């Protein structure tokens, strides 16, 4: 039985090649794990991030007019949006406790999502590739979305005494994928004050 040879150090393999496995300086095989598993997709320029640039007031309930950044995969697109991360933070306490949802529009036959274009960036900083997934602030959804996950809650207590405010965010790591015609938005069970910011990170892969 032959043993697989290891090459110590990073390897820049070409498409279709049969490279030697990567090894560490102590002759152990190197396997990506944890968040390092995202590196390959970022290196290929297929990953994107977007965040609200200004504070928003989130409307009450599952609204057709979300104000924090919304993702929409346009109909006929040949890509899927694999969600890595989604999160929301607020700088101002809410007047009533609010559940913060990730909500989906999953009727691909419905009208397209519209709104003010967001400002996404390639996760390979300096790469000029633009996403095929559309990002909107002040979006207009064709129908009210369905809540599919709970990120946490905004509360009414004073938040200015803490040294930092933690985002309500999750690393989905591919547990959510937006097919063409679908959309994801952040929603609040009660109206928030004008201090909310949302953000997404996703990878685009062929359908």
The pTM score is 0.84
> 184: closest CA among 82, 89, 99?
82
The residue assigned the tokens 């996760």 is: 123
> Which residues have C-beta within 8 Å of that of residue 131, sequence separation ≥ 6?
48, 120, 122, 202, 204
Q: Which residue has the higher pLDDT, 95 or 116?
A: 116
pLDDT tens, 11-62? 667 777 777 777 766 676 666 655 567 888 898 899 999 999 999 999 999 9
> 7: closest CA among 25, 17, 20?
20
Side-chain half-sphere CA neighbours of 123 within 13 A: 19
């Amino acid at each position: 039985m032959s043993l697989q040879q290891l090459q110590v150090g990073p390897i820049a393999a070409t498409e279709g090649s049969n490279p030697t496995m990567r090894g560490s300086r102590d002759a152990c095989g190197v396997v990506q794990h944890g968040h390092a598993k995202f590196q390959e997709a970022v290196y290929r320029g297929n990953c994107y991030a977007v965040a609200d640039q200004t504070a928003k007031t989130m409307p009450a309930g599952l609204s057709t007019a979300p104000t924090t950044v919304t993702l929409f995969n346009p109909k006929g697109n040949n890509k899927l949006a694999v969600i890595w991360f989604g999160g929301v933070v607020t700088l101002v306490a809410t007047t009533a406790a609010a559940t913060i949802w990730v909500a989906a529009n999953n009727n691909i036959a419905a009208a397209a999502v519209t709104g003010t274009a967001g400002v996404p960036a390639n996760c390979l900083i300096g790469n000029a590739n633009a996403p095929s997934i559309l990002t909107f602030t002040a979006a207009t959804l064709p129908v009210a979305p369905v809540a599919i996950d709970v990120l946490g809650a905004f509360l009414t207590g004073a938040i200015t005494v803490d040294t930092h405010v933690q985002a309500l965010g999750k690393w989905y790591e591919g547990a959510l994928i937006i097919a063409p015609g679908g959309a994801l938005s952040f929603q609040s069970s009660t109206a928030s004050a004008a201090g909310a910011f949302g953000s997404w990170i996703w990878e685009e892969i062929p359908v």
